[in-house]
A and B are shown apart, each in its own frame.
Chain A
Amino acid sequence: MTVRPQQLVEHALETSTSDACVVIVEDSTSANLRWANNTLTTNGVMRSTDVTVVAFAGGGNASVSGTAATTAQVAALVEAADRAAALAGEAEDRAELVAGAAAADFDDAPAETSIAVFDEVAGQLGEEFRRAEAEQRILYGFVFHEMTTTYVGSSTGLRLRHVQPTGHYGCTGKDAALTASAWVGGATRDFSDVSATRMAEDLATRLGWASRRLDLPAGRYDTVLPPTAVADLMIDAYWSAGARTAVDGQSVFSRPGGGARFGEQVVSPGVRLASDPTYAGLECAPFALAGASSDRTSVYDNGLALAPTAWLDDGRLTALQQTRRTAAETGQPATPPIDNLVLEVDGSTGSDLDLAAGMDDGLLLTCLWYIREVDPQTMLLTGLTRDGVYKVEGGEIVGAVNNFRWNESPVDLLRRFSHAGTTVPAFSREWGEDMFSRTAMPALRVPDFNMSSVSQAL
């Protein structure tokens, strides 16, 4: 007989012998298809139930996670957590556990997905592989859908449930000679809005833009970053926005001489970077979840209600990610991480193509890749352009140029951009698949984007 996730929660809470206990059960099903060289390569349907038991004893705690399908497996996790908590030292983030009651939907069953979510896309893909073969193009890509239902229970009475659909698609197209490459991709909650036919058509259009090839040297270029590339960069900025790191003097949000730069104008006026669990289309968990404490999260904050939070507002630093513990030190509200991110610029309109149409001589990017931090003090990042850098002359796309390595800081870009577009759902090529898919971004035009060197990669 299948054990319900709620039974796993209750069994853990009943069997724990620690002073207090928080249990997080994540019931997940996922399905994926992957293709390359115009044929399917791998696929899968996966099911998992992961249980995290956080036991609290005195001033310490311990967290134990594991796959669990039976109450016996959960009991083993609880026993391990209880044993470890009894031996743990004082936790620096200790606080009262969040109290509460059972949510109305707590007893509902978990949501599921299956390979059937791709029925329409799979049929279209088979047709597009044949079309690509006939028209001398090669398709490579991946679709993924997951339904995760999270149940949280605590010895203080909290019973919460959240259903998180996560889906994304991405497809790269190349010409048969492998001399031009294009990419399209995005996030979706249920694949009802995804068409493989449209993906293939968009790729054909972009490969058409690349029928003329130009070579450009390294240098600073007037550059339009589409929303997906802006998402690539802003996620890095978001991950660097930990309050304690800033207070310790170790991030771009640190004030020289000590403390965080709360209230300071750090980017251009009119810029707002925010998270909101209820943002339409990007809905995410409305309460804090932490299997272990870190510089930005605390196991004591599990279940804490998340409110819409502006990290930057009118260009000023208004919040950093922090626990109740660090909030007490900084004198700011507790603002735990939220699983979506939205960048808006006052008065901005138009798409990336609209911004490109306003350029005399510049570049339009597709997406960024292999982004890594070079210097945390300025948040200097390095990375590459990928799958389509297009030359714009007189507002028209006139061909594709070589790829570049770039060195830039997202915070600096938010000071230097000249034009911004309308905020739209955007999927980070670099971080969207595995870590952070719920983002909405505008296109940005930067008059002097630093293309540090040329990449020969096609």
Chain B
Amino acid sequence: MADVDPSFLALPLQRLAQVALGRARDFGVTHADFRLERNRLQHLSVRDGQLEGAQDSEDLGFAVRVLLDGAWGFASGVGLTDDEAVRVAETAVTVARVAAKMTTVPVQLAPEPVHRDVTWVSAYDVNPLDVPLADKVALLGGWTRELVAGGADHAAGMLQQVQENKFYADLAGSSITQQRVWLEPVLEAYASDPATGAFDSMASTCPPFGAGWEALTDGSWDFDTERAELPGLLRAKLAAPSVEPGRYDLVIDANNLMLTIHESVGHATELDRALGYEASYAGTSFATPDHLGTLQYGSPAMHVTGDRTARRGLATVGFDDEGVEGQSWDIVRDGVLVGYQLDRSMAHTYGAALNGGRSNGCAYADSPGHVPIQRMANVSLQPDPDGPDTAGLIGRVERGIHVVGHKSWSIDMQRYNFQFTGQRFYAIEDGELKGQLRDVAYQATTTDFWGSLEAVGGPQTYVLGGVLNCGKAQPGQSAPVSHGTPSALFRDVNVLNTSEEGTA
């Protein structure tokens, strides 16, 4: 287990917190929290073996949030001085006073035990930001050169790496220091067919990792095999027949289904959305609280959990940005909606039936300049302990399509209608794969789709996938989140031919 970066601990965390919270207390606030963050990022991009761009960045600052007369006030700054801490605290109070004119429903927070002087570090061995740049460029450059040598016209490689440090303190006495690391390798091959003019691309299905550099080298993902196969698979896709639109049984790999879970279950069971707090931007949800315990979300094979504690999860934390300890819980059990994702203000009002009136730890801000909002936990579809492997699921299909990898995704603002594509699609005939298809997208309504879930695969098909850039809120925030899922079999799903969709 790694230690918290000493250079973060050397910052005046406690002193600035005491100054800011003390100043806020002077105004009679009912709650105040202080959050000092440092987010270090490195983004590398390589094209055809050559470094295209390398950018290091660091976002350092702090925020003060107050509750005054039932209204929120939030302000942030970057100068790590006592004077600036006082100024930011006073600004937050000023903002709360402006906000009070427009706050018709006083904000209250669910209680949370005090967590005094605690420290938490995510599960990783080697901080990727400590690895020499030359090593990374050599690795990515070599990978892209191999793809071109293997038959791709061009190849791109990208590596995103993040180290997130947070210090949280509040007037109740909590004081929490945390460090997380995550990284995402992306590898994509491009090719065209001179005879037809057609072109396409195919990306690695490797997920982002809530882990360190070791995830690229310790067998967490079989990069060698995937890299060796990609150019040939891409050429085969270019030569593949275009899909006949219609209804098909789908066997969907974890690396595609994880995004379907993200969009149709993860976002739909955020309680702030269900209550209208994202209505003007990210949208609301069909899964409203009046349906809790009765909504048949999917078939009995569907068991979805929310989890802030999963090892290597991208949304895994020790404590959220309101000082709430990480937890895990059911969201859909036996196909029925049974849970939501909560922060402290929602838990106070709606959480009694959900989590005993306590938040389940889903508040998160992506930077010191942003206010914490309710964000997604790791939301995962559980495998069948005795379930088959992917071939076993394919073997049950007479006429269908096997979907591998994700590419394009879109869902409506209440999480009903979605359309997804993938990296590869294989025709299934009489239980066997029969080569690739082109131009495939599947389109469905959330509850119809999950209702058509016949079976989930066993633990051997389970992959913890995820995304680094889940967008939400105004101003916009980006959050990392994992989704674990097995392969799964869905019956009678609508499949489009995308080449027939555009031109009239």
Seen from chain A, the residues whose Cβ lies within 8 Å of a Cβ on chain B are 2, 30, 32-49, 52, 60, 62-70, 77, 80-81, 84, 87-92, 115, 118, 122-123, 125-126, 129-130, 133, 138, 140-142, 144, 170-172, 174, 178, 183, 220, 248-250, 254, 256-257, 291-295, 299, 369-378, 380, 382-384, 386, 403, 405, 407-409, 412, 416, 433-434, 448, 450, 452-458
Contacting pair A453 B443 (CB below 8 A): yes
Min distance, Cβ B441 to any Cβ of chain A, angstroms: 6
Min distance, Cβ B424 to any Cβ of chain A, angstroms: 15
CB-CB < 8 A to A38: which residues of B? 104
Contacting pair B498 A375 (CB below 8 A): yes
Could you tell me the distance between the alpha carbons of A405 and B54 in the complex, rounded to whole angstroms?
Answer: 38
Could you tell me the distance between the alpha carbons of A134 and B55 in the complex, rounded to whole angstroms?
Answer: 53
Could you tell me the distance between the alpha carbons of A220 and B80 in the complex, rounded to whole angstroms?
Answer: 58
Min distance, Cβ A298 to any Cβ of chain B, angstroms: 9
* B19 is an interface residue with CB less than 8 A from chain A: no
CB-CB < 8 A to A144: which residues of B? 474-475
* B95 is an interface residue with CB less than 8 A from chain A: yes
Min distance, Cβ B425 to any Cβ of chain A, angstroms: 13
CB-CB < 8 A to A377: which residues of B? 198-200
Contacting pair A66 B198 (CB below 8 A): no
**B502 CB contact (under 8 Å) in A49, A386, A407:** A407
Name the residue of chain A whose CB is nearest to the CB of B500: A407
**B280 CB contact (under 8 Å) in A39, A183, A249:** A183
CB-CB < 8 A to B498: which residues of A? 374-375, 380, 407
**B50 CB contact (under 8 Å) in A69, A89, A138, A409:** A89
Contacting pair A44 B417 (CB below 8 A): no
Name the residue of chain B whose CB is nearest to the CB of A41: B277
Which of B71, B99, B101, B369 is most buried by chain A, counting CB atoms within 10 A of its CB?
A: B99
CB-CB < 8 A to A138: which residues of B? 276
Q: A450-B502, A452-B501 given as contacts; is B410 within 8 A of A293 (CB)? A: no
Min distance, Cβ A136 to any Cβ of chain B, angstroms: 15
CB interface residues, B 36-81, toward A, < 8 Å: 43, 45, 47, 50-61, 71-80
Q: A43-B74, A63-B53, A294-B52 given as contacts; is B102 within 8 A of A129 (CB)? A: yes
Contacting pair B50 A412 (CB below 8 A): no
Contacting pair B133 A87 (CB below 8 A): yes
* B419 is an interface residue with CB less than 8 A from chain A: yes
CB interface residues, B 418-466, toward A, < 8 Å: 419, 421, 439, 441, 443, 445
Seen from chain B, the residues whose Cβ lies within 8 Å of a Cβ on chain A are 43, 45, 47, 50-61, 71-80, 91-92, 94-95, 98-99, 101-105, 132-134, 137, 153-154, 190, 192, 194, 197-201, 275-281, 283-284, 286, 369-371, 373, 408-417, 419, 421, 439, 441, 443, 445, 471, 473-476, 494, 496, 498-499, 501-504
**A67 CB contact (under 8 Å) in B43, B58, B192:** B58
Contacting pair A126 B502 (CB below 8 A): no
CB-CB < 8 A to B475: which residues of A? 30, 32, 44, 144, 433-434
Could you tell me the distance between the alpha carbons of A130 and B104 in the complex, rounded to whole angstroms?
Answer: 9
Contacting pair B43 A248 (CB below 8 A): no
Q: A63-B56, A65-B57, A433-B476 given as contacts; is B197 within 8 A of A257 (CB)? A: yes
Contacting pair B51 A88 (CB below 8 A): yes
Could you tell me the distance between the alpha carbons of A80 and B445 in the complex, rounded to whole angstroms?
Answer: 50
CB-CB < 8 A to B55: which residues of A? 63-65, 291-292
Q: A43-B99, A453-B443 given as contacts; is B412 within 8 A of A142 (CB)? A: no
**A174 CB contact (under 8 Å) in B78, B279, B502:** B279
In the complex, 5 of the A-B residue pairs with CB atoms within 8 angstroms, ordered by the A residue number, are A39-B103, A44-B369, A48-B61, A170-B280, A458-B414
CB-CB < 8 A to B275: which residues of A? 37
Contacting pair B276 A37 (CB below 8 A): yes
Could you tell me the distance between the alpha carbons of A49 and B79 in the complex, rounded to whole angstroms?
Answer: 9
Name the residue of chain B whose CB is nearest to the CB of A116: B98
Contacting pair B412 A369 (CB below 8 A): yes
Contacting pair B76 A44 (CB below 8 A): yes
**A64 CB contact (under 8 Å) in B56, B409, B416:** B56
Contacting pair B51 A89 (CB below 8 A): yes
Could you tell me the distance between the alpha carbons of A416 and B79 in the complex, rounded to whole angstroms?
Answer: 54
Contacting pair A254 B419 (CB below 8 A): no
Name the residue of chain B whose CB is nearest to the CB of A30: B475
Contacting pair B417 A384 (CB below 8 A): yes
**A126 CB contact (under 8 Å) in B91, B101, B153, B414:** B101
Contacting pair A46 B51 (CB below 8 A): no
Contacting pair A42 B137 (CB below 8 A): no
Could you tell me the distance between the alpha carbons of A90 and B47 in the complex, rounded to whole angstroms?
Answer: 13
CB-CB < 8 A to B494: which residues of A? 453
Contacting pair A92 B410 (CB below 8 A): no
Contacting pair A248 B98 (CB below 8 A): no
Q: A43-B99, A372-B409, A434-B476 given as contacts; is B59 within 8 A of A66 (CB)? A: yes
Name the residue of chain B whose CB is nearest to the CB of A87: B134
Given contacts A66-B58, A248-B154, A455-B416, 19 further A-B contacts (CB under 8 A): A34-B474, A39-B103, A39-B104, A42-B72, A42-B74, A46-B76, A64-B55, A77-B58, A84-B56, A123-B101, A129-B104, A250-B190, A250-B192, A295-B47, A377-B200, A378-B502, A407-B419, A407-B502, A452-B419
Contacting pair A63 B54 (CB below 8 A): yes
Could you tell me the distance between the alpha carbons of A331 and B79 in the complex, rounded to whole angstroms?
Answer: 48
Min distance, Cβ A372 to any Cβ of chain B, angstroms: 5
Could you tell me the distance between the alpha carbons of A458 and B54 in the complex, rounded to whole angstroms?
Answer: 44
CB-CB < 8 A to A405: which residues of B? 410, 412, 417, 419, 443
Contacting pair A370 B414 (CB below 8 A): no
Could you tell me the distance between the alpha carbons of A129 and B103 in the complex, rounded to whole angstroms?
Answer: 9
